[in-house]
């Protein structure tokens, strides 16, 4: 199908070296993201799913150019963003926007709604003509707020409305890629549906690409064209929505799905027992990161780390077993 | 079977400068030995005030218990003096909170915290209490409990902390355990483990459980009966199977439809059905009319003027608060 990808992430790696404390030997570095590669095309949603601490947010922060990777490259329209010129970076920061998880913490309580949404225009004023009040009103209306609410402050809004403000701020500069880091996990169920639908409407209207991060498999299923499953800093499986949910190949993906309590269908009891008997997370020096908890681990899993390998068109899994079954 | 806890027409109001807030309004419920009642509602609907009311932990003033009865065996807890109530808390009724880090004291070893409740309610020598605490930790699946007794809360993972909370809550073999969002802060795989543990202990000890959550999936996995709470009132109350297969109240129907799930029919390119608007402000609410009418798709003229009374349906037993069924 494909034209050139909008964003291409190539083997990025990130370790955080902890501070050495007085009188103690240097502790091990925390390896947050391990050699992750993926691409995002225009108008596409890539869902990123994984448990807390698996490196989802660190990855997103590197894509947003907030954090520099230890190694690896990110190309945006062929430009390496970590060696880009100032002007190129300026444009990148305008074209890639971020929606944060916590709508309470991510809005400045001392700025009015109008100021919050108008701030991107002020920052990037050298490139964009000054914003007229009409634009601001249109922007607020687009996310389901009214223009009278412009002079209110964040505490006067509900959680859902605050997230709408965050979305308005993110789309203000007409971006191409929006990174949504758990945008609905702090919201109530009935509001969650409203925000998810809004994100889809905006995507259709402006041909946005989303890097959509969530720990909720149901939300990922609803939002994503393609899905990447992360564990321990690496992508263990990546593929099209139907492939991941219809025919998950990595044991971790299957466990994640069976762990989700559902009310529509009954989970198979045996599958649930596997989830319940999962061990603790261990740090693995060599071999597959998941092998200590994996119900299907083979001897080889403890020795060599499996690479992502194609299991069917566009569907990759990093598991010795799924390679065998091909 | 005699109920462990029977609540009849309980109302807890708060006096504020903005007027009286009817946080819990005319709530009735009943739990039997070994039974699980799930209470579902969105943030601000009064779930937590209800559970605090049952424990009689609502600060008065500004709160006041306006009416109703809380019957534990033959005692009406609302008439019991504080001195007697202290003997019931932790012994006959115990509670687990959402955030295990904030509900454990960070400056005491977990062993000391478990022993405190045991020593107060059951007595015994230091040695006996210590051994019972170790036994309790082993029961909730903590490995090497003797060593863990000496750990501080920050040394444990989120799942382990919640296991410690459960150990504390069950250490005196209470007749009733109230779990307020016990797994909300946990990952799905850990959540599955904690829910399974609660179920297993409940079978062994015969404890009745009131499980409060906003997650309908969790409820369907664990609860025998379900109460839907909206703006301080129960709007629907029935057995879990009935409520999930044949919901009556428009709020329940809307909520069930709006949740994206793995096996659901809503994938990329679709929109979720949603409930419009947000939860009402309890302080600004007028006293007349149904509390849901502004968001309801089936609203009728009567809904705006008169509050619908509780209606009981037989075959199957299902209570609903909606004019559609009168």
Show Cβ contacts of residue B143 under 8 Å, excluding neighbours closer than 6 positions: none
pLDDT at residue A22 is higher than 80: no
How confident is the model at residue A97, as a pLDDT?
Answer: 92
Contacts of A196 in chain B (CB under 8 A): 260, 272
pLDDT at residue A319 is higher than 80: yes
Q: Compute the nearest-CA separation of B277 from chain A (Å).
A: 8
Nearest CB neighbour to A275, from listed B189, B271, B295 = B189
- Residue A241 to residue B173: CA distance in whole angstroms: 47
| Chain B residue closest in CA terms to A47 | B268
pLDDT at residue B129 is higher than 60: yes
Angle at B302 between CA B301 and CA B306, to 5 degrees: 140
pLDDT at residue A259 is higher than 90: no
Predicted confidence (pLDDT) per residue in B174-227, tens digit = 889 999 888 877 778 878 888 888 888 888 888 899 999 888 888 888 888 999
How confident is the model at residue A272, as a pLDDT?
Answer: 62
Q: Do A197 and B272 touch (CB under 8 A)?
A: yes
Place of tokens 């080889």: A300
How confident is the model at residue A278, as a pLDDT?
Answer: 66
Plot region of B206 (φ>0 → left; ψ -120 to 50 → alpha; else → beta): left
How does residue B79 score in pLDDT terms, banded at 50, 70 and 90? confident
Q: How far is CA B186 from CA A53, A241, A311, B13, B158, in A?
A: 12, 25, 32, 32, 7
Place of tokens 């391990």: A34
How does residue A264 score in pLDDT terms, banded at 50, 70 and 90? low
Nearest CB neighbour to A255, from listed B189, B219, B267 = B189
Q: Are A160 and A191 in contact (CB under 8 A)?
A: yes
How does residue A11 score in pLDDT terms, banded at 50, 70 and 90? very high
- Beta pairing, strands A226-231 & A45-49: parallel
Average pLDDT over residues A159-168: 90
Whether the CB of B188 is below 8 Å from some CB of chain A: the reply is yes
| Chain A residue closest in CA terms to B40 | A189
Average pLDDT over residues A49-54: 85
How does residue B306 score in pLDDT terms, banded at 50, 70 and 90? confident
Average pLDDT over residues B6-32: 88
**Which of B184, B185, B189, B199 is the best residue to mutate to test the A interface, defined by the most A CB atoms within 10 Å of its own CB?**
B189
Kindly report the average pLDDT of chain B as a whole number.
85
The helix-helix angle for A189-206 and B250-257 (nearest 10°) equals 50
Predicted confidence (pLDDT) per residue in A167-217, tens digit = 999 988 889 999 999 898 878 888 889 999 999 999 999 999 999 999 888
| Chain B residue closest in CA terms to A271 | B192
pLDDT at residue A279 is higher than 80: no
Angle at B211 between CA A181 and CA B278, to 5 degrees: 50
Angle at B291 between CA B287 and CA B294, to 5 degrees: 115
Q: Are B308 and B326 in contact (CB under 8 A)?
A: yes
Comparing CA positions, the residue from B1, B4, B2 lying closest to residue B178 is B4
- Residue B34 to residue B115: CA distance in whole angstroms: 25
Neighbours of B269 (CB within 10 A): 9
Q: How far is CA B144 from CA B116, B151, B171, in A?
A: 21, 11, 18
Tell me the HSE value of A191 on the side-chain side, using a 13 A CA sphere: 23
Comparing CA positions, the residue from B219, B260, B10 lying closest to residue B227 is B219
Nearest CB neighbour to A190, from listed B157, B191, B275 = B275
How does residue B60 score in pLDDT terms, banded at 50, 70 and 90? confident
**Residues 258-317 (B) with a CB less than 8 A from some CB of A:** 258-264, 266-268, 270-276, 278-279, 295
């Amino acid at each position: 199908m494909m034209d050139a990808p909008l964003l291409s992430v190539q083997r990025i790696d990130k370790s955080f070296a902890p501070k050495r404390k007085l009188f103690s030997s240097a502790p091990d570095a925390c390896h947050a993201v391990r050699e992750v590669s993926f691409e995002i095309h225009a108008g596409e949603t890539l869902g990123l799913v994984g448990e807390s601490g698996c490196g989802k947010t660190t990855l997103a922060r590197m894509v947003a150019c907030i954090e520099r990777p230890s190694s690896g490259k990110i190309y945006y329209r062929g430009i390496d963003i970590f060696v880009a010129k100032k002007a190129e970076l300026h444009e990148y920061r305008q074209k890639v926007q971020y929606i944060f998880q916590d709508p309470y913490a991510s809005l400045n309580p001392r700025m009015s709604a109008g100021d919050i949404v108008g701030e991107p225009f002020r920052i990037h004023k050298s490139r964009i003509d000054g914003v007229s009040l009409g634009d601001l009103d249109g922007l607020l209306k687009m996310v389901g707020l009214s223009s009278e609410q412009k002079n209110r402050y964040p505490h006067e809004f509900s959680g859902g409305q605050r997230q709408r403000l965050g979305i308005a701020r993110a789309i203000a500069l007409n971006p191409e890629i929006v990174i949504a880091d758990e945008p609905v996990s702090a919201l109530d169920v009935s509001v969650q549906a409203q925000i998810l639908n809004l994100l889809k409407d905006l995507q259709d209207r402006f041909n946005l690409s989303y890097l959509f991060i969530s720990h909720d498999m149901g939300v990922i299923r609803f939002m994503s064209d393609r899905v990447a499953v992360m564990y321990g800093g690496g992508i263990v499986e990546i593929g099209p929505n139907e492939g991941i949910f219809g025919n998950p190949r990595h044991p971790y993906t299957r466990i994640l799905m069976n762990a989700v309590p559902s009310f529509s269908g009954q989970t198979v009891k045996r599958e649930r027992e596997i989830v319940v008997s999962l061990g603790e997370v261990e740090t693995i020096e060599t071999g597959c990161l998941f092998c200590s908890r994996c119900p299907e681990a083979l001897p080889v899993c403890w020795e060599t780390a499996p690479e992502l390998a194609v299991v069917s068109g566009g569907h990759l899994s990093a598991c010795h077993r799924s390679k065998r079954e091909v | 079977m005699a109920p462990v806890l029977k609540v009849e027409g309980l109302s807890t109001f708060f006096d504020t400068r903005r007027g009286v807030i009817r946080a819990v309004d005319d709530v009735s419920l009943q739990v039997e030995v070994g039974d699980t009642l799930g209470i579902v509602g969105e943030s601000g609907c009064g779930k937590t005030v209800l559970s605090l009311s049952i424990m009689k932990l609502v600060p008065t003033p500004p709160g006041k218990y306006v009416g109703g009865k809380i019957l534990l065996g033959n005692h009406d807890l609302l008439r019991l003096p504080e001195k007697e109530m202290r003997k019931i808390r932790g012994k006959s009724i115990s509670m687990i909170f959402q955030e295990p880090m904030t509900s454990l004291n960070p400056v005491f070893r977990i062993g000391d915290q478990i022993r405190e409740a045991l020593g107060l309610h059951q007595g015994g020598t230091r040695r006996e209490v210590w051994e019972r605490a170790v036994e309790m930790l082993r029961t909730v699946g903590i490995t090497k409990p003797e060593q863990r007794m000496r750990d501080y809360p920050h040394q444990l993972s989120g799942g382990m902390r919640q296991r410690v909370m459960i150990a504390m809550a069950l250490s005196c073999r209470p007749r009733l355990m109230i779990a307020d969002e016990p797994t909300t802060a946990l990952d799905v795989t850990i959540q599955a483990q904690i829910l399974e543990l609660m179920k297993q202990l409940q079978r062994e000890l015969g404890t009745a459980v009131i499980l409060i959550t906003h997650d309908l999936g969790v409820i369907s996995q664990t609860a025998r009966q379900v109460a839907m709470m909206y703006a301080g009132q129960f709007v629907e109350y029935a057995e879990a199977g009935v409520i999930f297969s044949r919901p009556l109240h428009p709020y329940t129907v809307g909520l069930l439809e709006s949740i994206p799930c793995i096996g659901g029919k809503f994938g990329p390119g679709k929109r979720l059905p949603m409930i419009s608007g947000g939860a009402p402000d309890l302080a600004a609410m007028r006293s007349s009319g149904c509390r849901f009418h502004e968001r309801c798709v089936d609203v009728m003229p009567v809904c705006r003027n008169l509050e619908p009374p509780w209606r009981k349906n037989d075959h199957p037993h299902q209570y609903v608060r909606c004019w559609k069924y009168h």
